[in-house]
Structure 1
Amino acid sequence: MYEPYPVPELAREHKKFRYSSLWAFAKQDLRLLAFLLLIAACVGIGLGYFWICIFSAFLIFFTLQLRSLYLVNEWISNRPYDVPPNLHGIWGALLFNVYRAQRQERIVQAEMVGLIDRAQSSLVALAEAVVLIDELQQIEWWNPAAEKLLGIQTLDRGRNILTILRQPSFIEYFNHIDQAPDGLKMKSSAFEDHYVQVKMTRFGGESRLLVAYDVTRMHNLEQMRKDFVDNISHELRTPLTVLSGYIETFLDQEDLNPRWKRAFDQMQAQNKRMNALVNDLLLLSRLESNKQIAKNQIIEMPSLMNQLFDDAQAYNVDYHHTLNLDIDSHCDLIGSDMELASAFSNLITNAIKYTPKGGTITMGWHDDGEQGIFTVQDTGIGIDPKHLPRLTERFYRVDSARSRQTGGTGLGLAIVKHVLMQHGAYLEIESKENQGSIFKAIFPKERLYQMTE
């Protein structure tokens, strides 16, 4: 509890002259000067030394002012935390204001210290690791959870954080935190088979706040899900292949009853849909796994764009859209041609499927010197803006009934998102209901390749 300092007699009456003007305090000095001059005049007239006495009065007044100034300076210099001397006049007003401001500052300081103590106590109680890192990348402070999750020890104060957390992925994240807004998941340096999610935020220039929490359970559950999807997808392939073979055998019979033919046609359509779903699941599983295809191929974009355009024309036979191809960039892409072709094809087929017959689809490849942009623009049904943030989630559908009619698996945009992420790119969507959509795959400058002559 903060205990107030002793208050001098002058300060106890602060309410009386808090709102008084400086003139109210100056009048005390003027009355003293007038009193001294009056006494000096009377004495000077009686003794016959009028001006000498008047000068002596001024000298005495000036000496008293110098004494007050000395007391003020001595208190400020040597005893600032003691009760100030009880002076009158302008010097008393000065002391009162200095002392009052000093007390208010101490109260604020005490409150700030208390607030900081409470904040530190709260951070100490957190299960999440919290680390303060200064502009020189040195550790300033951490809570006990940081010792358990990150292996920081007492002797590490003042050490460079990169000498403690030496994983290449963390060093890359530390140097480019703006490129990973969701943070980084990495193995714990303190415990084997444990994973932590690390998130850093800049403050006060180049200082950083690091927050980390244990995500081992979530990681294990995610791995179980991936393994389950991967295994079940492989297991489904065999029965689907057998069913597909028997269905085709029956459909090839010339004397097949029309009623049975209709049933087998529907069975074949559903079998194809299941095959498409299994293939998408396997592709998504492969994209998420660590066994990634090398992404350093130089992809000739004019050739790829023409191939995609030809494939789109074949797919467009039943839709009768107008297809346009717009290429105004001389840059090629560096990446995996198979994965990028799959991602671009997903965007194009989606545009074709979800655009009413007779629409217009435009595929484009552009660059602005800093980024490469693959675009697919349609005049389709459009998407309500509230759905845009969730479009790349697995199995998320804006209209489930329409997706079933078009044979969609709900995984196309999820695949696109993963492919782009592995190429350092991202998907941008602009859409308005009944006015069409624009899907943009935006690649960083590092992924662009331009042949030099």
Structure 2
Amino acid sequence: MWQAELTRIVYIALFAATAGWLSGSVAWALVTMLAIYVIFALRFVRRLDHWLEHNASDEPPESWGIWGHLFDKMYRHQRRYQQQQQRLTEIINKVQRSSGALRDAVVMIDQHGSLEWWNRAAEGLLGFRHPSDKGQALTNLLRDPRFISYYDKQDYQDPLVLASPMDDNIVLEYQITIFGRNERLMLVRNITRLYRLEQMRKDFVANVSHELRTPLTVINGYLETFADYSDQLPPRWGRATHQMQQQSRRMQNIINDLLLLSRLETTDIEGQQQYIEIDLMLDSIRQDAQLLSGDKEHRITTDLRTDARVIGSENELRSAISNLVFNAVKYTPPGSTIKMIWQELPHNKGAVLAVEDNGEGIDARHLPRLTERFYRVDKGRSAETGGTGLGLAIVKHVLLRHNAKLDIKSEVGKGTQFSCTFPDTSLAMQGESTREHSNTVAHSPELSDLAAQPSDNFRE
């Protein structure tokens, strides 16, 4: 098209030059023809300006040559842009209509923390009102201190569960996602039914476990009496009595662990918090683990690289760490090495208490399910040791109550590492020190009270 326009200009110039030569004034002829061309060009520019300003969505004005080509090209681009805008608008409207029909609340929050858009469910669950609340800061409308702390921390890996600000009988689950330029999308679900079912499950387990203790105590009493007079019983009764005692003790351990889990889930830790000297606790656990090992001669060491203390319940943490260490003793080959390491994380991000062993290790497919109740890696071996399948579930709940988390790393044939990571807010720092205590397990026919009744093994 541009080539045709240039050809046209050349022809006009040749015509003007010829006319000027015949009239004896070539220069004036060329100037006159150029002025006429510029006038036509300005006319088309004026039409273009008027069309863009007033009715660009209509068909372009009539023109010829390169201007007609430019007008048509701009019109086609305009039409494509309008079609794209229309499609985007339809998609946005469809998303808003579908979001508006959800039973879950959907709230869009801008980069300044102000409400930008929400669906109808948010009005019922959170009490937002349109349009008066639009542009308001979210934390001005949801004033619960727990929500404000969760929102400001910007760690949205886990959801937050709170009562609805509209009705205390409604339980809501908040999930926030960051996108764009620090904008947020908040989803709020009504989990009242699930919450009540979970409460019913907890109450059922606690009540049944509590009610079973009395009959089990009676059964154990009679079985102990039979064992005391085993020499007066028929020989075949002795083996049966011994097996009944074993299974009765195992059932008692299951009940105790279920009651402990129920207490961890339903009670508050605030009244039990104290400063815990980790070095003293680990040394005590090491001594008990030595007794538990007996003639297996495990090498158990403690490596203390910090003097940091943990703020929490010493009994609960002792139970959790004892579970990890005692089970490492029970499930690693004789002569294995078990390490307890307490060290700070860089950049003041907390501290980690790790329990490592160089035993058989755990297959990777089992790792995601190890904290499930009654999950067993090796069912046969767990039955032989009398495990209940609740040990690691107890560890997980104890750490949750201390705002800590459990990480598990293992490789078959190379051992396992259980890491309990405590945030900086759960620590009380005293300074830097590095101490290491190691001791080979001594032989002993008797176990201490703590080692004699360890909780269940996590590898079951």
The answer, yes or no, to whether TM exceeds 0.5 is yes
* 1:101 equivalent in alignment to 2:77: yes
Q: Which moved more, 1:395-404 or 1:263-272?
A: 263-272
CA shift for structure 1 position 312 = 0.5
The residue that corresponds to 1:19 in the other structure is none
2:90 — aligned with what?
114
Amino acid corresponding to residue 322 of structure 2 in structure 1? S
For residues 273-352 of structure 1, the aligned pairs below 5 Å read: 273-292=250-269, 294=271, 296-317=273-294, 319-352=296-329
Q: Distance in 2 between matches of 1:41 and 1:309?
A: 110
**Conserved? CA contact 2:107–2:186, under 8 Å:** yes
Q: 2:189 aligns with which of 210, 213, 216?
A: 213
Comparing 41-50 and 117-126, the one that deviates more: 41-50
Do 1:425 and 1:441's aligned partners in 2 also have CA atoms closer than 8 Å? yes
Give the equivalent residue in structure 1 for 2:36.
Answer: 60
Once residues 51 and 326 of structure 1 are traced to their aligned partners in structure 2, the CA distance between those partners, rounded to angstroms, is 101
Q: In the aligned structure 1, how far is the partner of 2:20 from the partner of 2:425?
A: 97
Aligned CA distance change for structure 1 residues 367 and 348 (closer, same or farther; 3 Å): same
Percent pairwise identity: 44
Q: Shift of the alpha carbon at 1:358?
A: 3.1
1:201 to 166, 177, 195: 177
Instruction: Note if 1:354 corresponds to 2:354.
Output: no
Quote the Cα distance in structure 2 between the aligned partners of 1:290 and 1:300: 23
1-structure distance, mates of 2:17, 2:415? 101
| 1:238 equivalent in structure 2 | 214
- Cα distance between partner residues in 2 of 1:269 and 1:177: 51
Aligned-pair distance for 1:389? 0.9
Q: What is the Cα deviation at residue 382 of structure 1?
A: 1.7
Alignment-derived partner of residue 22 in structure 2: 46
1:435–1:38: structure 2 CA closer, same or farther, 3 Å change rule?
Answer: closer
**Of 391, 397, 420, the match for 1:441:** 420
Corresponding residue number in structure 2 for 1:264: 241
Give the distance between the partners of 1:388 and 1:46, measured in 2 at CA. Answer: 100
Deviation at 1:158? Answer: 2.3
Q: Which amino acid aligns with 1:378?
A: D
Larger relative contact order (C-alpha < 8 A, sep ≥ 6)? 2
* Partner in structure 1 of residue 101 of structure 2: 125
Output the amino acid matched with 1:449. A
Larger deviation, residues 379-388 vs 57-66: 57-66
Question: Following the alignment from structure 1 to structure 2, what is the Cα–Cα distance between the partners of residues 113 and 329?
Answer: 59
Q: Give secondary structure in 1 for the equivalent of 2:53.
A: helix
Contact kept? 1:36, 1:61, Cα under 8 Å: no
Is 2:411 the partner of 1:432?
yes
Question: 1:293 Cα deviation (Å)?
Answer: 5.0
Partner of residue 17, structure 1: none
Aligned partner of residue 156 in structure 1, secondary structure? coil
What SS is found at the alignment partner of 2:354? strand
Give the number of aligned pairs: 428
SS of the residue corresponding to residue 118 of structure 1 reads helix
1:249-303 CA-partner distances (Å, limit 9, x unpaired): 3333474455444333322222221221111111111110133353531111111
Cα RMSD for the two superposed structures: 2.2
Deviation at 1:123, TM superposition (A): 0.8
Match of 1:187 among 163, 173, 188: 163
2:152 corresponds in structure 1 to 175
> Whole-Å Cα distance in 1 between the matches of residues 20 and 270 of structure 2?
111
Distance (whole Å) between structure 1 residues aligned to residue 112 and residue 27 of structure 2: 72
Cα distance in structure 2, aligned partners of 1:388 and 1:452:
35
Corresponding residue for residue 441 of structure 2? none
Q: For residues 90 and 447 of structure 1, do their structure 2 counterparts lie closer, same or farther at Cα, with a shift above 3 Å needed?
A: same
Name structure 1 gaps, 5 residues minimum.
Answer: 1-23
Worse-superposed segment, 206-215 or 146-155? 146-155
Q: Is the 8 A contact 1:250 1:256 kept in 2?
A: no
Equivalent residue, structure 1, for 2:47: 71
Compared with structure 1, are the counterparts of its residues 348 and 60 closer, same or farther at alpha carbon in structure 2 (3 Å cutoff)? same
